[in-house]
Structure 1
């Protein structure tokens, strides 16, 4: 299950070129996490999409060991479910500029919303 809606067309192009240079077997495993009954990518969406485009049915994954903001991830997964992006092949490939506007800005706004009620975050967001 993806945890983002879009990937950058330019980044995908670079990742495909990288895979061609190093070989499919030398690609780092993609981190995943399971919360409840949902297993999702925490990173590496572009690599996973590129490998899918290259025809792979199975890819190397690794369990995410970092403590990340799982509330943010669950909200992003909810966005994906609402947009019917439940498989890596469903990701929308868009220009890098649109990716920055449509995905990165959306994530920044979500972080600001979630943390705006916490005094320590209010102070740091103003900087």
Structure 2
């Protein structure tokens, strides 16, 4: 299915400069761009990106209004909803809001992956506690 890029809500805080360059080269090298669909979840009447932030950002820069997407079948809705909440708190409400958060690959890996590890541990404990209370 195709979704409007402006309807997508990010669930990550940074983009990798290298990943964007790789995708940009793909866009420049082919007349018919065959980019894998991004993965999304429908949570609270929003489409959360679970995989494909870089592809969505590059599609927007390339002047596209829509991007191919498929629903994520791996679960994790509650965790991605927490990621989206963190993004909202940092005023990241659309894919374009990541334009000032593009980092060199080594810095991206250090900041994003380390943040994710800590956040995932805390979120897992929080979600487990909520489930136990219910």
Q: Give the root-mean-square deviation of aligned CA atoms.
A: 1.9
Task: Decide which of 66, 83, 87 is 1:80's aligned counterpart.
Answer: 87
Residue correspondence of structure 1 range 20-39 to structure 2 within 5 A: 20-23=28-31, 25-39=33-47
TM-score using structure 2 length: 0.77
What is the aligned length? Answer: 117
Residue correspondence of structure 1 range 110-121 to structure 2 within 5 A: 110-115=119-124
Structure 1 residues 66 and 9, CA, compared in 2 at 3 Å: closer, same or farther? Answer: same
Residue correspondence of structure 1 range 1-127 to structure 2 within 5 A: 1-23=9-31, 25-67=33-75, 69-91=76-98, 92-115=101-124
Gaps of 5+ in 2: 1-8, 129-134
Structure 1 distance, partners of 2:80, 2:12, is: 9
Structure 1 or 2: more strand by fraction: 2
Gaps of 5+ in 1: 119-127
Render the CA deviation track for 1:61-107: whole Å, top value 9, x for unaligned: 1122222x223212210111011111111112111122112211110
TM-score using structure 1 length: 0.81
Structure 1 residues 93 and 35, CA, compared in 2 at 3 Å: closer, same or farther? Answer: same
TM-fit CA distance, 1:11: 1.0
